[in-house]
Amino acid sequence: MSRKYEKKEPTLHDIIWVCAREYAKRTGKIIDREPQFWVAQDVAIITCCFGDVEFLSLEDMMVIVDHIDKWVAIYGSQEKVGEVVNEWIYWCLDDAIDPKTEEPRNYSRINLYSWLKGLRPEQLKHN
Protein backbone atom coordinates (compact mmCIF):
# COMPACT_ATOMS: atom_id res chain seq x y z
CA MET A 1 0.00 0.00 0.00
CA SER A 2 1.36 3.37 -0.87
CA ARG A 3 0.36 6.40 1.04
CA LYS A 4 0.12 9.78 -0.44
CA TYR A 5 1.72 12.41 1.69
CA GLU A 6 0.35 15.88 1.51
CA LYS A 7 2.82 18.66 1.75
CA LYS A 8 2.05 20.60 4.89
CA GLU A 9 1.83 24.33 4.50
CA PRO A 10 4.39 26.08 6.72
CA THR A 11 3.04 27.82 9.78
CA LEU A 12 3.70 31.49 10.43
CA HIS A 13 6.08 30.38 13.17
CA ASP A 14 8.07 28.38 10.58
CA ILE A 15 8.17 31.36 8.23
CA ILE A 16 9.33 33.72 10.97
CA TRP A 17 12.22 31.40 11.86
CA VAL A 18 13.27 31.09 8.21
CA CYS A 19 13.34 34.89 8.02
CA ALA A 20 15.15 35.20 11.34
CA ARG A 21 17.88 32.79 10.21
CA GLU A 22 18.34 34.77 6.99
CA TYR A 23 18.55 38.06 8.93
CA ALA A 24 21.14 36.49 11.22
CA LYS A 25 23.18 35.26 8.26
CA ARG A 26 23.16 38.69 6.59
CA THR A 27 23.84 40.51 9.86
CA GLY A 28 26.76 38.17 10.55
CA LYS A 29 28.35 39.18 7.25
CA ILE A 30 28.01 42.88 8.10
CA ILE A 31 29.39 42.63 11.65
CA ASP A 32 31.94 40.00 10.62
CA ARG A 33 30.70 37.33 13.02
CA GLU A 34 28.91 34.05 12.50
CA PRO A 35 25.58 33.48 14.23
CA GLN A 36 26.28 31.02 17.07
CA PHE A 37 22.95 30.17 18.62
CA TRP A 38 19.47 31.47 19.34
CA VAL A 39 18.75 32.68 22.83
CA ALA A 40 14.97 32.71 22.65
CA GLN A 41 12.56 30.39 20.97
CA ASP A 42 9.64 32.73 21.59
CA VAL A 43 8.63 34.47 18.38
CA ALA A 44 8.13 37.74 20.28
CA ILE A 45 11.74 37.76 21.52
CA ILE A 46 14.02 36.33 18.87
CA THR A 47 17.62 36.98 19.85
CA CYS A 48 20.75 35.60 18.27
CA CYS A 49 24.22 35.36 19.73
CA PHE A 50 27.07 36.20 17.35
CA GLY A 51 29.97 35.49 19.68
CA ASP A 52 30.77 35.51 23.36
CA VAL A 53 28.69 38.56 24.20
CA GLU A 54 27.36 39.93 20.94
CA PHE A 55 23.59 39.52 21.17
CA LEU A 56 21.19 41.09 18.68
CA SER A 57 17.41 40.90 18.61
CA LEU A 58 15.59 40.25 15.37
CA GLU A 59 14.48 43.89 15.50
CA ASP A 60 18.13 45.02 15.66
CA MET A 61 19.08 42.70 12.80
CA MET A 62 16.25 44.16 10.74
CA VAL A 63 17.49 47.71 11.46
CA ILE A 64 20.89 46.72 10.10
CA VAL A 65 19.87 44.64 7.09
CA ASP A 66 16.75 46.51 5.94
CA HIS A 67 18.54 49.88 6.01
CA ILE A 68 22.03 48.80 4.94
CA ASP A 69 22.04 51.14 1.92
CA LYS A 70 21.28 54.10 4.21
CA TRP A 71 24.00 53.10 6.67
CA VAL A 72 26.58 52.55 3.91
CA ALA A 73 25.73 56.01 2.53
CA ILE A 74 26.42 57.47 5.99
CA TYR A 75 29.47 55.39 6.98
CA GLY A 76 31.02 54.61 3.60
CA SER A 77 31.16 50.80 3.68
CA GLN A 78 29.52 47.71 5.14
CA GLU A 79 32.68 47.10 7.16
CA LYS A 80 32.39 50.51 8.82
CA VAL A 81 28.68 49.88 9.50
CA GLY A 82 29.73 46.64 11.19
CA GLU A 83 32.25 48.52 13.33
CA VAL A 84 29.59 51.02 14.42
CA VAL A 85 27.16 48.20 15.28
CA ASN A 86 29.90 46.51 17.33
CA GLU A 87 30.60 49.81 19.12
CA TRP A 88 26.91 49.94 20.07
CA ILE A 89 26.93 46.35 21.32
CA TYR A 90 29.94 47.00 23.55
CA TRP A 91 28.53 50.33 24.71
CA CYS A 92 25.34 48.50 25.76
CA LEU A 93 27.41 45.98 27.71
CA ASP A 94 29.55 48.63 29.38
CA ASP A 95 26.58 50.89 30.06
CA ALA A 96 24.30 48.23 31.54
CA ILE A 97 25.84 48.44 35.02
CA ASP A 98 26.74 51.59 36.92
CA PRO A 99 30.43 51.13 37.84
CA LYS A 100 30.03 53.14 41.08
CA THR A 101 27.07 51.25 42.49
CA GLU A 102 27.35 48.03 40.48
CA GLU A 103 23.57 48.28 40.01
CA PRO A 104 21.73 48.16 36.69
CA ARG A 105 21.18 51.60 35.24
CA ASN A 106 17.58 52.73 35.29
CA TYR A 107 17.39 55.03 32.28
CA SER A 108 16.47 54.38 28.70
CA ARG A 109 19.26 53.16 26.52
CA ILE A 110 20.01 54.30 23.00
CA ASN A 111 18.53 51.85 20.52
CA LEU A 112 20.56 50.64 17.55
CA TYR A 113 18.66 52.73 15.01
CA SER A 114 19.35 55.95 16.93
CA TRP A 115 23.00 54.93 17.42
CA LEU A 116 23.43 54.37 13.68
CA LYS A 117 21.79 57.77 13.07
CA GLY A 118 24.51 59.32 15.25
CA LEU A 119 23.01 59.67 18.75
CA ARG A 120 25.61 59.16 21.49
CA PRO A 121 25.37 59.02 25.31
CA GLU A 122 26.93 62.43 25.83
CA GLN A 123 24.00 63.94 23.92
CA LEU A 124 21.50 62.61 26.47
CA LYS A 125 20.61 64.19 29.77
CA HIS A 126 20.17 61.65 32.55
CA ASN A 127 18.15 62.73 35.54
* Domain assignment present for 31: yes
pTM for the model = 0.76
Has residue 77 been placed in a domain? Answer: yes
pLDDT, tens digit (0-9, with 9 covering 90-100), for 81-126:
999 999 998 888 877 777 788 777 766 678 999 999 999 888 876 5
Cα 15-17-18 angle, rounded to 5 deg:
65
Say whether pLDDT at 3 is over 90: no
Range(s) of the domain holding residue 32? 12-123
How many distinct structural domains can be found in the chain? 1
What whole-number distance in Å separates Cα of residue 90 and Cα of residue 55?
A: 10
1 part of a folded domain = no
> Is 55 among the domain residues?
yes
Note whether residue 4 is domain-resident.
Answer: no
5: in domain: no
- pLDDT, tens digit, for every residue of 44-79? 667 888 877 678 888 899 999 999 999 999 999 999
Q: Are 36 and 51 in contact (CB under 8 A)?
A: yes
> What phi and psi values does residue 104 have, to the nearest 5 degrees?
-60, 140
Q: The dihedral of CA 12, 18, 22, 27: what is its sign? A: positive
